[in-house]
Chains A and B, each alone.
Chain A
Amino acid sequence: MSAPNPPSSAPPRRRRLAALRRFARSRSAVVGAVGLLLLVAVALLAPVIAPFDPAAQDGEPLLGPSGAHLLGTDQLGRDILSRLIYGARASLVAAAGAAAVGAGIGVPLGLLAGYLGRWVDAVAMRLVDLLLAVPGILLALVMIVVLGPGRFNLILAIGIGAVPEFARLTRVATLGIRDRDFVLAARGMGASTPDTMLRTVLPNVLGPIVIQVVVTASMAVVVEAGLAFLGLGTPPPAPSWGGMLQDARSYLYQSPSYGLFPGLCLVLTVFCLDRIGRGLQLAVSGGSPHLGTRVTSGGAV
């Protein structure tokens, strides 16, 4: 059976619109959302809008910005703009993938722990403690070294590091509503335990989880860039902003502008995601910046 989302008596549609209005009230959140939409569009349309094949080594190396190559070329004569455009794909795929892996494992774990309690809670939380004991970036590094480089392994490495935050957040939120009337009512009307968890509890704890998804995605962009910077990201010649920064470091003297563009892209993407997270926090908390659910970017990434 479906839960009536009891914390508010307003119809869901009106409540959703109210949340959207609260989100839209934050100008920076709107800017972030527009920026992210643009970025997604650029990533999706990369084959259409990129002026060159990102792997083609056709130009002169280390050219500065010019009419032929708007942002110049890298050390192997590849067009920097095309590589930035395709690099957006790598960053966004890593962001979305890591958030999906983190939420896909962490949310069910937290839901089970919070709702069932007792030994399930103890086992799940010890697992989470185990993951938290290892610094996130170190965990990702070890996983990449063991599994080998590659896009999927990169997503897995970052995503697993994000599991503890999702699990703990979901558990706390579940504990908060587990014994509320509407949940007891659902149980009293004969709903099974899985049904209650999925259709009554989960929809009511989604708010903070959505914010955590955005926070995890923004941190995943940074971690992906960090791992690529260390040479453990997507293997060459696939472009990635972190990998471009790493390459550019070697040519700062010969081509100072080379490192500027991937760095700017990273900053802007993380800014957009951060602002969206903030806007969502306001939307979920009813407009008060102090009532927002605490989300965290620590530990995992």
Chain B
Amino acid sequence: MPVSPYQSRLIARRTLLRAGFLAAGAIAGAPLLSACGSESGESTGGDATGKITLGTTKIMQFDPYLTNTDIHIHSFYTYLLDYPPDGTYEPLPAGAETWEFAPDHTSVTITLRAATFHSGEPVTSGDVVTGVQRAQNPDAAFTLAQPTEFIAAATAVDERTVRLDFKQPTPEALVLDWMFAFPLVLAASNPPEQLEHEPAGSGPFRLADFRRDQRLVLEKNPDFWDSGKPYLDEVEYRFFTDEDALIAGLESGSVDGAAYIGFRHADRLRDRFTLVEGNGRMSLFFMNALIPPFDNKLLRQAIARAIDRDRILEQVNFGIGDPVYTAFMPSSPAFDPSYLDSGAFDLDAAAALLEQSGDVRNAVAGVTSGSPSVQSLEIIQADLKKIGFDLEIAPQEEAAYLEALFASELQCTVAFQPNNLQSPSLVARGRQMLTTEANTTFGPNVPPAYVAAVAAAGSAMTSEDQEAAYAALNSTLADEAWAIGISTVPSLFALDKRITGLVTDRRDFVNLTDTKG
């Protein structure tokens, strides 16, 4: 039947309307369908096994002696002991089944648990001895070298027993912290060049697949010593180039969780995801005493009084975290809240000290461009301007910033410091601003009072001695004023609501052993 042009237009209009209704129906129906889908997903997710996918922007490598990468390393390795996730330092047996200190505290004898590495070989005392030897070499183990300094020798007593002899009587807490941070690594795979590419641990997960900058897949270790754990069969990490892409991935459902995200996302994600706060780190304002103008102690002390912690916490950290003055978190035995009062933000006091410090009225702060530290510096900058000090902020690309930081070229910066666990002497570990030997702030001329205070904190046996040592450590840090605490910076995770049991340990390393999804 022939169709007239008028009818043709009517038909076309009708077709258009029909298509429009269909499209509208599809749009309206999509959320319902997806809701049905998510419901069924939740029901399957409740069986406490399966696979989860976490998104991250962090770069990874597998050598626990040379990395601060915190997202995956705890999955590969068993440490000699664990601390409970409730924030206390009650040691829990892990790789070590038992340990016994000598009455004079000059040695500890550790009995290892019967366990096997991912390769199937048994964990032996020889692996611990090799590990200790490597940890004693600062070039081969920058994260463990300083904490291992108290050990004189490691001896394999038998297949599963190892004895550590100390250089001097050593506090139990320091030894326990060391055991908490010491990974069991297969001796034959311990050389850095091998471990960098291939993990060799006995942890809850094994490496299944790794494509740099794309994905890392962990699979359950069926021979893990804690039978029944881990609960998950597989964990996949997907790499994102920036945090906003990661959050978009989380919201679109392409990942089940986003790890180590900025506080700025918290409000937006709170209703739809489970937000988990980890133990985190501290942010500190560092001043370089090697070069002008901060080779002037009075000037450093003046700047220290011009840091408005409350405002930084409120406006940069979105109210998350606690203020700190010296480099100790509130959970540390060396944390002394009185410094937050005596060294509180006070522009009049800062101006008076500035007056005494001489004529220098300007400095340049280095910082990674786009990081929240820029805003912390902007707050400090505005306050300093009120007392006539011009702090210029020079944002740099991250690689250039790190290079300048390690080369001691930055006059000042805001940077992070890890948790010092229950041993304040660990403040000097690492390789940057707070070490007692040739650090980036003082070069070889680290203040003797600080060196002595760290040594005293690491060897004080009685509670009175410890109290005095920690007080001296706080005092010298406050007096030299090169590392002024701003606040704690908890780590933040956003997880699909079906994921439970993801925690970070006291170092802020992700622990997936009890995670269910």
Contact = CB atoms under 8 A, between A and B. Distances in A.
A joins B in a complex: yes
A297 B474 CA distance: 59
A19 to B, nearest CB: 44
B395 A232 contact: yes
Interface in B250-301: 262, 264, 267-268
A77 B311 CA distance: 11
B445 interface: no
Q: How large is the interface on A (under 10, 10 to 19, 20 to 34, 35 or more residues)?
A: 20 to 34
B161 to A, nearest CB: 54
A250 B264 contact: yes
Contacts of B379: 57, 76
A76 to B, nearest CB: 6
Interface in B344-384: 369-370, 374-375, 377-379, 381-382
Nearest to A246: B370
B382 A230 contact: no
B256 to A, nearest CB: 21
Contact of B369 (A75, A76, A230, A237): A230
A253 B262 CA distance: 13
Nearest to A229: B370
A235 B395 contact: yes
Contact of A145 (B244, B374, B397): B397
Contact of A237 (B244, B382, B394): B382
A148 B378 contact: no
A236 interface: yes
Given A55-B382, A76-B378, A149 B264 contact: no
A230 B370 contact: yes
Interface in B445-503: none
Interface string A58-81: 000100000000000001110000
Contacts of B374: 231, 236
Contacts of A126: none
A145 B262 contact: no
Interface residues of B, number: 24
A81 to B, nearest CB: 19
B279 to A, nearest CB: 24
B212 to A, nearest CB: 22
Interface in B376-432: 377-379, 381-382, 385, 392-397, 400
Given A75-B315, A250-B262, A251-B264, A149 B394 contact: yes
Contacts of B394: 148-149, 235
Contacts of B400: 145
Contact of A249 (B244, B267, B315, B393): B244
Contacts of A193: none
B317 to A, nearest CB: 12
B270 to A, nearest CB: 10
Interface string B146-184: 000000000000000000000000000000000000000
A254 interface: yes
Given A55-B382, A61-B315, A246-B370, A232 B397 contact: yes
Contacts of A254: 267
A27 B116 CA distance: 80
Nearest to A254: B267
Contacts of A149: 369, 394-396
B272 to A, nearest CB: 12
A76 B370 CA distance: 15
Contacts of A246: 370
A232 B378 contact: no
B54 to A, nearest CB: 22
Residue from B244, B315, B369, B400 whose CB has the most chain A CB atoms within 10 Å:
B369
Contacts of B314: 61
Contacts of A148: 394, 396
A145 B370 contact: no
A100 B379 CA distance: 35
A235 B396 CA distance: 10
Contact of A236 (B262, B381, B385): B381
Nearest to A57: B382
A67 to B, nearest CB: 23
Nearest to A232: B369
B95 to A, nearest CB: 41
Interface string B435-453: 0000000000000000000
A61 B268 CA distance: 18
B341 to A, nearest CB: 24
A249 B393 CA distance: 21
Contacts of B264: 250-251, 253
A252 B264 CA distance: 9
B369 A231 contact: yes
Contacts of A55: 382, 385
A236 B393 contact: yes
Interface string A170-193: 000000000000000000000000
A56 B379 CA distance: 10
B392 A235 contact: yes
Residue from B262, B377, B397 whose CB has the most chain A CB atoms within 10 Å:
B397
Given A75-B375, A76-B315, A231-B374, A145 B396 contact: yes
A76 B397 contact: no
B395 A253 contact: no
A237 B396 CA distance: 15
Nearest to B378: A236
A145 B397 CA distance: 7
Contacts of A230: 369-370
A253 B267 contact: yes
Nearest to B264: A250
B249 to A, nearest CB: 16
Nearest to A61: B315
Contacts of A231: 369-370, 374, 395
Contacts of B382: 55-57, 76, 237
A253 B268 contact: yes
Given A231-B370, A253-B268, 8 more contacts: A57-B378, A75-B315, A145-B397, A231-B374, A231-B395, A236-B374, A251-B264, A254-B267
User: Considering the complex of A and B, which 9 residue pairs feature the smallest CB-CB distances, nearest first?
Assistant: A231-B369, A231-B370, A253-B268, A250-B264, A57-B382, A231-B395, A236-B393, A145-B397, A236-B378
20 contacts: A55-B382, A57-B378, A57-B382, A76-B378, A76-B379, A76-B382, A145-B397, A231-B369, A231-B374, A232-B395, A232-B397, A235-B392, A235-B395, A236-B395, A249-B244, A250-B262, A251-B264, A252-B268, A253-B264, A253-B268
